[in-house]
Structure 1
Amino acid sequence: MNRVNSVGVESGAWVCFDPPDFRGQRFILERGNYPDFFHWNAHNDHMGSRRPVGMHGEHFCLEIFEGCNFTGQCLELQDDCPFLQSRGWTDCVNAVKVYGDGAWDLYEEPNYHGRMYLVERGDFRSFADWEAHSARVQSLRSVVNFF
């Protein structure tokens, strides 16, 4: 089944993808009801693959870097940030380190809008590692998952 008209998430958070191979257009569904695909910011009713998002441990954070391979200016975040420029950051994030068992959504536009990319625990040396089209990131937030 790859067409979905509505979704109810009883617990946890799920990263869902349009195609069946965990690539392409992605969106996060957290606890709640989604009566149609517009409510989960999808462009159509296709949901070809999905998986649970990693759970947060007691300590989780993320470091963003101005340059590839963890070079240049660095900023550590433990809380959501609706506008990175308000913290003195440019709109370029070329590398990311995610600590703990958490996951973070990176958005191309302020206030959690635009293309969204999910990064989970690990090192991302370049924006290509999280399958972004560019290094543009203007807001980010943690994905909370309780199972």
Structure 2
Amino acid sequence: MDCWSSAGSSFRETSPCFDLGARLSWGCLLPKNLQHWSEGSLALEEGLRLQGMAGGAQLGRDGVKTFAQITSTIITLYEGRCFTGRKLDICGSCNSFQDQGFLNRVNSICVQSGAWVCFDHPDFRGQQYILEHGEYPDFYRWNGRSDHLGSCRPIGMHGEHYRIEIFEGSHFRGPSMELTEDCSFLQGQGWDKTCINALKVYGDGAWVLYEEPNYRGRMYVVERGEFSSFNEWQARSASVQSIRRVVNYF
């Protein structure tokens, strides 16, 4: 999967005019001089095409989106604390920071837009950290235990309707409960177990599962779909005691 990144300059310093052709990848515009693209237009998912113009963009099928909306998922990683040292700008999934010429040591992060899940190993493996729009001057701010990160991807935002159903047993068996709001302590809401073995995300938004109450401990992001066992959200166990929505994208 494509992503555009630079260890030297910020994405925001890129020229705002892409009328010679560009490519859209996970909300990211790539200037034509980076790759060989057709002039005058931008190929989008499922055959949708975009005329690249400075100051705005016209979608041919689903109406109009502004240029800012199209370039809406950007994260910047810094080697040093408080946004110092070498940096890496990313828009779109990046399965290895090291392959982009950036060491796996990350001590501060600025999420310019979008919501992201970072992993402490390449290829989207290992412990997950959810970062929403804002600044994180040290790794403690994203509940990290060290400065080691290896990959990241944006969290999809499908809409504003949140609904999740959790199940006591795997494969959607046993007692279940639906949630539409954040819950800092599931047992306080009548869920008499400290574990969830399956779940279904019906709504449009993403959720974060935490192993401990009050949004602490290991965390796992789940987006729209069905998860028949805890292995499917890459958890080590079925332990989940608090849940919240991912809401701060911008």
**Long gaps (5+) in structure 2:** 1-101
The structure showing larger relative contact order (alpha-carbon pairs under 8 Å, at least 6 residues apart) is 1
| Cα drift, residue 120 of structure 1 | 1.2
1-side partners of 2:187 and 2:176: how far apart? Answer: 13
Q: Provide the TM-score with structure 2 as the length reference.
A: 0.56
| Cα drift, residue 58 of structure 1 | 3.2
**What secondary structure, in the 3-state scheme, does the structure 1 residue paired with 2:232 have?**
helix
Judge conservation of contact 2:210–2:218 (CA < 8 Å) in 1: yes
| Structure 2 equivalent of residue 100 of structure 1 | 203
1-side partners of 2:152 and 2:120: how far apart? Answer: 9
The answer to whether the aligner puts 1:32 opposite 2:98 as a matched pair is no
Judge conservation of contact 1:56–1:144 (CA < 8 Å) in 2: no
- Kindly provide the CA deviation profile for residues 66-102 of structure 1, in whole angstroms up to 9, marking residues without a partner as x: 1111111111111000000011102121101012332
**Long gaps (5+) in structure 1:** none
**What secondary structure, in the 3-state scheme, does the structure 2 residue paired with 1:24 have?**
strand
| Cα drift, residue 146 of structure 1 | 3.1
2-side partners of 1:38 and 1:80: how far apart? Answer: 22
Q: 2:119 aligns with which of 8, 12, 17?
A: 17
1-side partners of 2:207 and 2:181: how far apart? Answer: 10
Q: 1:32 to 1:58 in 2, by over 3 A?
A: closer
The answer to whether the aligner puts 1:111 opposite 2:214 as a matched pair is yes
| Structure 2 equivalent of residue 134 of structure 1 | 237
The answer to whether the aligner puts 1:77 opposite 2:184 as a matched pair is no
Judge conservation of contact 1:107–1:137 (CA < 8 Å) in 2: yes
| Structure 2 equivalent of residue 91 of structure 1 | 194
2-side partners of 1:137 and 1:6: how far apart? Answer: 28
Judge conservation of contact 1:65–1:73 (CA < 8 Å) in 2: yes
| Structure 2 equivalent of residue 8 of structure 1 | 110
Q: Which moved more, 1:51-60 or 1:82-91?
A: 51-60
2-side partners of 1:121 and 1:72: how far apart? Answer: 21
**What secondary structure, in the 3-state scheme, does the structure 2 residue paired with 1:33 have?**
strand
**What secondary structure, in the 3-state scheme, does the structure 2 residue paired with 1:141 have?**
strand
| Cα drift, residue 60 of structure 1 | 2.3
Runs of 4+ in 1 over 3 A off after TM superposition: none
2-side partners of 1:17 and 1:43: how far apart? Answer: 12
The number of residue pairs the alignment matches comes to: 147
2-side partners of 1:146 and 1:137: how far apart? Answer: 24
State the AA in 1 paired with 2:238: A
Judge conservation of contact 1:82–1:138 (CA < 8 Å) in 2: yes
**What secondary structure, in the 3-state scheme, does the structure 2 residue paired with 1:57 have?**
coil
Q: Provide the TM-score with structure 1 as the length reference.
A: 0.93
Judge conservation of contact 2:210–2:241 (CA < 8 Å) in 1: yes
- Kindly provide the CA deviation profile for residues 34-69 of structure 1, in whole angstroms up to 9, marking residues without a partner as x: 111111111211221111111141322110001111
